[in-house]
Amino acid sequence: MYVESNFQRVRIDLAYDGGAFAGWAKQPGLVTVQGCLEQALALITRVDLQVTVAGRTDAGVHASAQTVHVDIPRENWARIPGRSKRAPKIALETRLRGAMTRVLADAEAQLGLPSTMRGFMQGAISIHHVSAVSADFDARFSALSRRYEYLIADNSLHQALPVQRLSCWQVESSLDIDYMNNAARELLGLHDFLSFCKPRVGATTIRELRELEFERRDDAVIAARIVADAFCHNMVRSLVGSLVMLGAGERSYEWLLDRIENPQRDATVKLAPANGLSLAEISYPEAAHYKTQAERTRNTRKLPVEKRPK
């Protein structure tokens, strides 16, 4: 029997400057991305809604491409265009940008920024796209993979650029990118990344790392590209922190191999700062596969027997 849902599921694609927020997740009394987004949605729909995010980001971590979904009661959905003849999703996109301007102005007042920084929060969240999707779409579980970018300004940059400090890790040594890339290849594939994670109770730390590569851009900034099916908490920052230690000659190739072959919580692993990190892409399958992908993801990832730690 087919039952029409009472909700319209909506997908929102957005970007943000993590430096302006106390992280993604809503926290009472703090200015967070989720908090601002839900406030803006409430201003428009007049109902309290909770969004589900593809990749939670920590305080200071940016996103150039983040995805969420939210279920809007059909009644409220239908009212979004008001007297205009626009489709609800077109109206929502426009109105969400307007509401965000107000919410960010309030956030700026709440933060008590000095008058010389007036307008700092405007544009700190950018709404890229709003679409109406089927209830099969799950921003978190339907995702096939996540791509992160990590920027590093090392000593090869003759001169530090103060503006870059907000989106680059400024490292004092000169990094050997080739050495880092050779080591990074050893980490690819399905592994238990416990040595590089802050584990959550009851959750696995097994992930499939698909890409991890450092490239020096024309402006001498090093950009790391990191792709996995999903990441556990702190994983990208730990991997980058560890490889930078190798590139600076502070740790050996063998040390890194031992971390991945003998997974354990490890205080010698260094966390790269949050401000260099940016969530850059969430990949989804064709709409027909939203549901099966979500089911597949929900089955806890398992290592094949021969790769399980002894």
Output the known binding site for substrate: 148
Q: What is the 3-state secondary structure (H, E, C) of 218-276?
A: CCCCEEEEEEECCCCCCHHHHHHHHHHHHHCCCCCHHHHHHHHHCCCCCCCCCCCCHHH
58 vs 266 by CB, closer to a second copy: 58
Structure tokens at 122: 């405007």
CA 271 to chain centre: 16
Q: Which residues are catalytic?
A: 58
Return the number of other C-beta atoms located less than 10 Å from residue 178's C-beta.
Answer: 10
Q: Provide the binding-site residues for a second copy, judged by CB under 8 A.
A: 15-17, 19-22, 30-31, 59, 62, 64-65, 111-114, 116-117, 120, 122-126, 128, 159-163, 165-167, 170, 218, 278
157 vs 197 by CB, closer to a second copy: 157
52 vs 126 by CB, closer to a second copy: 126
For the annotated binding site, the residues are: 148
Tell the residue number behind the tokens 């549901």, with chain if given: 291
42 vs 59 by CB, closer to a second copy: 59
DSSP letter at 300 equals P
Phi, psi dihedrals of residue 115, rounded to the nearest 5°: -60, -25
Structure tokens at 40: 């803006």
Distance of CA 292 to CAs 15, 35, 54, 70, 83, Å?
27, 30, 17, 20, 39
Structure tokens at 3: 């039952």
Of the candidates 281, 191, 276, the one whose C-alpha atom is nearest the C-alpha of residue 241 is: 276
Kindly state the smallest distance separating residue 71's Cβ from a second copy, in Å: 25
